[in-house]
Structure 1
Amino acid sequence: MPLAMGSFDPLMSAGPTLVWAVVVTFVFLECAVIFGLFLPGDSMLVTAGIVLASHSAGEQHVWALSLGAMVAAIAGNQVGYAIGQRAGQHLVARKGGRYVNVRNVQRVSEFLLRYGFVAVLVARWIPWVRTLCPSVAGAARMDHRTFTVASTIGAIVWAPVLLLIGYYAGGFVAQVPWLMPIVIGILVAALIVATIVGIRRYQREMSQPAEDFSLAPPPTLAAETES
């Protein structure tokens, strides 16, 4: 078993720094731009928590990273909102796109129109909605203060919950010393594969012809989202 542990020494020693870089980058991208839609956000946060559980200072790191991930999620949403606001009522979808298509963008728009503040909160827990929500909210001219408060509350709950689930699950795994490197190795390999697949899906999606359309939400959207 020492050989198995030794084979993962570089990963273990680089853990906190590497985890910080990956988590903050992935969270920001997933909450800001379309590319983030194809990244493994939720599973990445859980895996990060498990990796940190293998370190002696893991508890301090997981709480600090929770704060960092929250900031990245909030900042990403603001960038996404600004992108949508700049695009105005015209969002570019992809003809024949599996994810970035007119139907999905309109579904997010209707979701925001119907549930407003609550929709932004719930969007944190639905991967593809989480990515599209900020830009659609900006394009639909959802009240910026309402959006900011909802997205901030959502970030405060979303990132720490998933990181802590991973961290405490990792604590149980760590009780079997030889098992932790195997679990981390499998999870990290799965994330790498998922990221590569996501990049290819993004390239395939963006290779489809653009489809420009008018979001044209009813003028009552801002009033409904403020209530």
Structure 2
Amino acid sequence: MPLAVGSFDPLISAGPALVWTVVLTFVFLECAFIIGLFLPGDSMLITAGIVLASHASGEAQVWALSLGTMIAAIAGNQVGYVVGHRTGHHLVARKNGRYINTRNLQRVSELLQRHGFLAVLVARWIPWVRTLCPMVAGAANMDHRKYTIASTIGAVIWAPVLLLIGYYAGSFLERVPWLMPMVIGTLVAGLIAGTALGIRHYRQEMAKPAEEFDVEHPAAVLEAEG
């Protein structure tokens, strides 16, 4: 058993610094830019919590990282809003795109128009909506104060909850010495594979022909499609 745990000593030793770097980068990108659509955000947060549970200072680290992820998510949302706002009412969609298509932009636009503040809160828990929402809100000129309050509340709830779920699940797994290394190895391998696959899908998506999406008149765009 000690050999199994020892085989992950480099990962556990590098844990806090590596986890902080990956988590903060992923959270910011997922909330700010289109590439975030293709990153494994939720599973990454849970994995980070489990990895930190293996470290001696894990409890202090996970609470500090929870605060860090809140700040990264809030900052990412503001960047995403500004990016959308600077496009005016026109966003770039991708013909036959898997995520960045006019239909998905239409759904997010309608969600914001109908539910506003509540929609921004709910968007935090839906991966692809989480990334598109800030840009659509900015392009639609949603009241910035209302958007900031809603996105901040969402950030305070989302990332820390998933991190803590991972951490306390990891604390439970620590009671079974042979199981923890296996779980960490599987999750980290899955995270690396998911990230590589996501980047590949992002490149494929962005290579598709671009088309304009008008936030003010989304229905007209869909009618023109067919």
Matched, 1:22 2:32: no
The Cα shift of 1:213 comes to: 2.6
Aligned length: 218
Q: Which residue of 2 aligns with 1:224?
A: none
Counterpart-to-counterpart distance in 1, 2:74 and 2:88: 21
**Partner SS state of residue 185, structure 1:** helix
Unpaired runs of 5+ residues, structure 2, are 219-226
Q: Which residue of 2 aligns with 1:75?
A: 75
Map Cα deviations across residues 63-122 of structure 1 (whole Å, 9 max, x no partner): 000000000000000000000000011100000101000110011000000000000000
Q: Which residue of 1 aligns with 2:117?
A: 117
Q: Which residue of 2 aligns with 1:48?
A: 48
Q: Which residue of 2 aligns with 1:129?
A: 129
Provide the TM-score with structure 1 as the length reference: 0.94
Amino acid at match of 1:182: M
Matches within 5 A, 1:192-203: 192-203=192-203
Map Cα deviations across residues 177-205 of structure 1 (whole Å, 9 max, x no partner): 12111110000000000001100100110
Counterpart-to-counterpart distance in 2, 1:194 and 1:208: 21
Matched, 1:180 2:180: yes
**Partner SS state of residue 110, structure 1:** helix
Q: Which moved more, 1:30-39 or 1:209-218?
A: 209-218
Counterpart-to-counterpart distance in 2, 1:191 and 1:26: 11
- Fraction of identical pairs, as percent: 75
Q: Which residue of 2 aligns with 1:223?
A: none
Amino acid at match of 1:43: S
Provide the TM-score with structure 2 as the length reference: 0.95
Is the 1:31–1:77 Cα contact (8 Å) retained in structure 2?
yes
**Partner SS state of residue 84, structure 1:** helix
Q: Which residue of 2 aligns with 1:225?
A: none
Amino acid at match of 2:121: L
Q: Which residue of 2 aligns with 1:98?
A: 98
Unpaired runs of 5+ residues, structure 1, are 219-227
The Cα shift of 1:147 comes to: 0.2
Amino acid at match of 1:7: S
Q: Which stretches of structure 1, 4 residues or more, deviate above 2 A after TM superposition?
A: none
**Partner SS state of residue 125, structure 1:** coil
Counterpart-to-counterpart distance in 2, 1:213 and 1:170: 44
